[in-house]
Amino acid sequence: MKRILVTGATGQIGSELVPALRERYGCAQVIAAGHKTKPQPGLAESGTYTTLDVTQIESIEAVVKQYQIDTIFHLAALLSAKAEEKPQLAWKVNMTGLYNVLEVSRKNECAVFFPSSIGAFGPDTPRDNTPQDTLQHPNTMYGVCKVSGELLCNYYYTRFGVDTRGVRYPGLISYDTLPGGGTTDYAVEIFYRAIKEKKYNCFLKQGTYLDMMYMPDAVRAAIQLMETDASRLKHRNAFNITAMSFAPEELAASIQKFIPDFFMQYTVDPVRQAIADSWPCHMDDRAAREEWGWEPRYNLESMTQDMIDRLTVKLNSGRL
């Protein structure tokens, strides 16, 4: 990777991926692109930032040509809960946006990273140790877009030779960016409420196990996959990756080790609960481990401690 474009750079993944890429490849080599969300000061000040609507192919091509881009991390998308609220918009942003990126990449010989998700599975997928290759019949617009995206990326690789690669992310937990409308957002919101209010009202019920990952691992996985020698990859798109699996009450118990007077209650959101019930409890990520050496560094306890430490600093500095 020499000249990198990150779409969706103001989102949960992008806001942490861009600094990591700039540290590794140089600030001048990484172009951050957002749409409506205002970028954090550090994102815009540390390198080039541009506004980009991924549903407009001419806009993407202009940026790629202007900055001589050879790699695109395509992160712009509506997340699961938001996609159910606005399914037509979700298709337009998630699918038209990806198609446009792939077309521009075909013409300009760019590599593409596309993040899929546990949302790409469905209620008839094995929920425990979900295989790398299995049934994928999602019943949400978000999931439909992710499966379609996986297939489209594979098509552009086999038909046109576009170097497409991707992972299926579990729920992602970050101290840097606020949640943006996902089903696993409770695992981020809970930390903010625990530190500020010592209580949290969870929108998923007890016993809802979902795969999760701390953002530093998620960022490292994206970069590591894109840096892997292509000859090692038997799969290309949608590698299962995971770090931990827990239910809301287990996360609450982990937080209580550091904030003993924290407590949690439940007001279940039927829409997000139904989405969560269609997703895996734990994915089998052996393909990623074997083909490009994937291995997480954070577990539930170490993630909890780091989240509380970092969010407490942000709170005390007035940035929360």
Active-site entry in 49, 67, 99, 142: 142
Concerning whether 142 is annotated as a catalytic residue, the answer is: yes
> Strand pairing partners for 213?
172
Q: What is the set of active-site residues?
A: 142
